[in-house]
């Protein structure tokens, strides 16, 4: 089976972090390994090298001869290899994300990547050979009781069968991966982490600077926005080279594999049908006027402006308190919201705070954004934040802990079945946000407080749905345009501005410099076409939450069962107990109607 190093994915709405917000926790990575030079690291690397070599000796060219029991034993060995390699890769990656400009960490990460890629190269035959086993023979194997639960693994492999390369080319691509997309990812990460922005005499990294665009003082927001545009503009040639190269690499691979669209690989990885994603995209674009256009016109009035600028998009409302939310308050808010849904959910989340599973503060060289990394199923997830004491940081904490709870519950599926497709991976995170929002809304004591909370939630949902679908359209247009040749920075800028104007609407003007804002968004680099998963997750959660409020009896256990399933079930099977079907085009309209309903409430408060 082809092995891929564990990858973090930066979340879309993450904000920055770190000053005087209380005792911000750091990761304790010793649950993975005591140190980079610990003997356990060498032990596992040596084991991995031998395990991969012996696996190939025992099985290459022989898979079709196995019976069900033999294939079951083979898969268990493959699963153990994935677990050890995943532990090594996770440890090296998490260390690196803490400080991407530290040469020692960068070297350790690169060396581990290189060794894992080299050692696992003999495994490339596995999925290729499985896909050459006749259907009837594979079905006979799957009658084995132990192997039967791994059916989804084989079904996903079969979906890739039309796009397989020859054995030699698959091995070549595996060997080249460490100097392919992974190398361009690192260049992007290190370039972003090294950028410095000076606003009102103070120099910051990108996360802390983007957070200034949520300050009450409009002049501060403007200064931050213009400085971001200036610095990104000074570096746009590097980012343009990264995007041109990755898009071309994808184009070449798609041609060789015979994939019909640049998005096909992502849809296959997400185990979702292209028509479902297209229905989601079309529903959201059609809803722009009643969602983002309508909301931002309201906000323009609240701020007393003729036109909004980009630095007003996430601005606080005039009546909003400009207060810092301390870490202890953020923790209690989220845990209380989780416990209000089910005490079990808070119990699962508690160790993240007490056992060193969260890294929250801003540090020099730390990767931007936020993520929850599942690591491996015999360890536990880790959450990274950049906490700045904003209300939105609280929602980011709720979001990432939702991922963490999901990953803890899914771990019982084992290494090969725990991983959830990205579309469903966003369900628990967005649900965690919704629980936290509803708790805060119920606690509101004044109309002004309620208005601020509703507006904040609408903005979060617009950022999750409208903004991410605009991002998806940007990527689709960029990859299509790249087929015609090299794209200049100006070409990419034009594509970016076309989707921004369409999605944000007529309430906005756009400053000079905003056209390069595409360049710092990590999703486009790390996980092309990932972004629709946010909109998928938000629409799904809106429908789930409506089902919960309509019939709360027994909902919690069905919800936990869904999370426990990990990647062992298709989205149609997971949603059936709730009476939901994401393949129904009307499903997405239901989810969008919740956002529209919140805007209705805001309009009624005028």
H or E segment at 35?
Answer: none
H or E segment at 454?
Answer: helix 447-464
Q: What is the CATH number of the domain that holds 48?
A: 1.20.140.70
Which of 391 and 502 is assigned the larger pLDDT?
A: 502
- pLDDT tens digits, residue range 538-574? 888 888 998 898 889 999 999 999 999 999 998 889 9
Q: Is residue 529 part of a domain?
A: yes
369, 10 in Cβ contact below 8 A? Answer: yes
Tell me how far apart the alpha carbons of residues 458 and 462 are, in angstroms, rounded to a whole number. 6
Domain final position from 123, 153, 185: 185
Tell me, yes or no, whether 601 and 501 share the same domain. yes
Which of 199 and 168 is assigned the larger pLDDT?
A: 199
Q: Is residue 77 part of a domain?
A: yes
Domain that holds residue 170: 29-185
Tell me, yes or no, whether 152 and 283 share the same domain. no
Tell me, yes or no, whether 285 and 141 share the same domain. no
Q: Is the pLDDT of residue 451 over 90?
A: yes
Strand ordering across the sheet containing 371-373: 358-359, 382-384, 371-373
Domain final position from 136, 158, 185: 185
pLDDT band at 54 (very low <50, low <70, confident <90, very high): very high
Tell me, yes or no, whether 284 and 179 share the same domain. no
Mean pLDDT of 356-364: 93
Tell me, yes or no, whether 572 and 426 share the same domain. yes
CA 491 centroid distance within chain: 27
Tell me how far apart the alpha carbons of residues 99 and 446 are, in angstroms, rounded to a whole number. 43
324, 393 in Cβ contact below 8 A? Answer: no
Average model confidence (pLDDT) for the chain? Answer: 92
Q: Is the pLDDT of residue 17 over 80?
A: no
Q: Is residue 13 part of a domain?
A: no
DSSP conformation class of 121: G
pLDDT band at 581 (very low <50, low <70, confident <90, very high): confident
Domain final position from 135, 158, 185: 185
Q: Is residue 339 part of a domain?
A: no
Tell me, yes or no, whether 157 and 274 share the same domain. no
89, 164 in Cβ contact below 8 A? Answer: no
Q: Is residue 217 part of a domain?
A: no
Place of tokens 């509101």: 444
- pLDDT tens digits, residue range 23-46? 899 999 999 999 999 999 999 999
Place of tokens 């799957």: 142
Q: Is the pLDDT of residue 413 over 60?
A: yes
Q: Is residue 590 part of a domain?
A: yes
The number of CA neighbours under 13 Å toward the Cβ of 408 is 22
Q: Is residue 180 part of a domain?
A: yes
pLDDT band at 577 (very low <50, low <70, confident <90, very high): very high
Tell me how far apart the alpha carbons of residues 106 and 190 are, in angstroms, rounded to a whole number. 9
DSSP conformation class of 370: -
Which of 177 and 553 is assigned the larger pLDDT?
A: 553
Tell me, yes or no, whether 170 and 283 share the same domain. no
Q: Is residue 331 part of a domain?
A: no
Tell me, yes or no, whether 584 and 464 share the same domain. yes
- Structure token pair of residue 194: 């090294």
- What is the number of other CB atoms lying within 10 angstroms of the CB of residue 226? 18
* Number of folded domains that form the chain: 2
Mean pLDDT of 60-69: 96
Q: What is the pLDDT of residue 491?
A: 98
429, 403 in Cβ contact below 8 A? Answer: yes
Tell me, yes or no, whether 179 and 275 share the same domain. no
68, 140 in Cβ contact below 8 A? Answer: yes
Q: What is the CATH number of the domain that holds 427?
A: 1.10.1370.20
Tell me, yes or no, whether 173 and 316 share the same domain. no
Q: Is the pLDDT of residue 6 over 50?
A: no
Tell me how far apart the alpha carbons of residues 235 and 330 are, in angstroms, rounded to a whole number. 36
- pLDDT tens digits, residue range 279-335? 999 999 999 999 999 999 999 999 999 999 999 999 999 888 778 899 999 999 999
């Amino acid at each position: 089976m082809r092995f891929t190093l564990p990858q973090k994915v930066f979340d879309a709405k993450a904000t920055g972090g770190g000053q005087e917000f209380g005792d911000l926790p750091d990761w304790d990575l010793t649950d993975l390994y005591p140190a980079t030079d610990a003997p356990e690291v060498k032990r596992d690397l040596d084991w991995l090298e031998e395990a991969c070599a012996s696996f190939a000796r025992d099985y290459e060219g022989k898979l079709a001869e196995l019976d069900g029991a033999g294939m079951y034993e083979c898969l268990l060995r493959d699963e153990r290899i994935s677990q050890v390699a995943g532990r090594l890769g996770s440890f090296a990656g998490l260390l690196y994300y803490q400080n991407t400009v530290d040469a020692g960490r960068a070297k350790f990460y690169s060396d581990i990547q290189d060794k894992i890629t080299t050692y696992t190269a003999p495994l490339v035959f596995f999925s290729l050979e499985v896909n050459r086993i006749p259907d009837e023979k594979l079905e006979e194997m799957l009658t084995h009781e132990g192997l039967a639960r791994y059916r989804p693994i084989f079904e996903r492999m079969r979906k890739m069968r039309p796009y397989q390369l020859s054995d030699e080319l698959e091995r070549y691509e595996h060997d080249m991966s460490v100097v392919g997309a992974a190398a361009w990812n690192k260049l992007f990460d290190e370039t972003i982490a090294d950028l410095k922005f000076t606003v009102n005499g103070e120099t910051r990294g990108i996360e802390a600077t983007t957070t200034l665009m949520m300050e009450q003082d409009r002049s501060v927001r403007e200064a931050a926005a213009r400085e971001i545009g200036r610095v990104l503009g000074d570096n746009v040639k590097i980012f343009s080279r990264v995007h041109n190269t990755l898009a071309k690499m994808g184009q070449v691979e798609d041609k060789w594999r015979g994939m019909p669209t640049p998005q096909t690989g992502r849809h296959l990885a997400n185990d979702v049908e292209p028509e479902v994603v297209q229905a989601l995209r079309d529903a959201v674009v059609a809803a722009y006027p009643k969602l983002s256009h309508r909301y931002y016109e309201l906000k323009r009035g609240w701020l007393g402006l003729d036109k909004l600028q980009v630095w007003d998009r996430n601005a606080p409302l005039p009546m909003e308190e400009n207060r810092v939310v301390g870490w202890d308050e953020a923790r209690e808010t989220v845990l209380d919201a989780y416990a209000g849904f089910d005490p079990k959910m808070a119990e699962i989340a508690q160790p993240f705070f007490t056992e060193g599973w969260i890294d929250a503060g801003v540090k020099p060289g730390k990767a931007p954004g936020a993520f929850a990394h599942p690591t491996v199923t015999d360890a536990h997830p880790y959450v990274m934040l950049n906490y700045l004491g904003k209300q939105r940081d609280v929602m980011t904490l709720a979001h990432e802990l939702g991922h963490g709870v999901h990953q803890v519950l899914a771990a019982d599926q084992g290494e090969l079945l725990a991983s959830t497709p990205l579309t469903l991976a966003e369900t628990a995170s967005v649900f965690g946000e919704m629980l936290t929002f509803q708790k805060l809304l119920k606690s509101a004591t004044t109309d002004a407080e309620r208005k601020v909370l509703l507006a904040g939630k609408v903005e979060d949902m617009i950022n999750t749905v409208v903004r991410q679908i605009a991002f998806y359209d940007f990527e689709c247009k960029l990859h299509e345009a790249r087929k015609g040749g090299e794209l200049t920075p100006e070409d990419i800028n034009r594509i970016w501005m076309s989707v921004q104007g369409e999605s944000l609407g007529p309430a906005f003007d756009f400053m000079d410099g905003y056209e390069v804002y595409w360049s710092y968004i990590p999703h486009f680099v790390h996980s092309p076409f990932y972004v629709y998963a946010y909109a998928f997750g938000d629409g799904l959660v809106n429908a789930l939450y409506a089902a919960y409020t309509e019939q709360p009896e027994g909902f919690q256990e069905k919800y936990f069962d869904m999370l426990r399933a990990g990647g062992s079930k298709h989205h149609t099977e997971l949603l059936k107990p709730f009476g939901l079907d994401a393949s129904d085009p009307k499903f997405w309209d239901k989810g969008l109607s919740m956002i529209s309903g919140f805007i209705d409430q805001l309009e009624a408060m005028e």
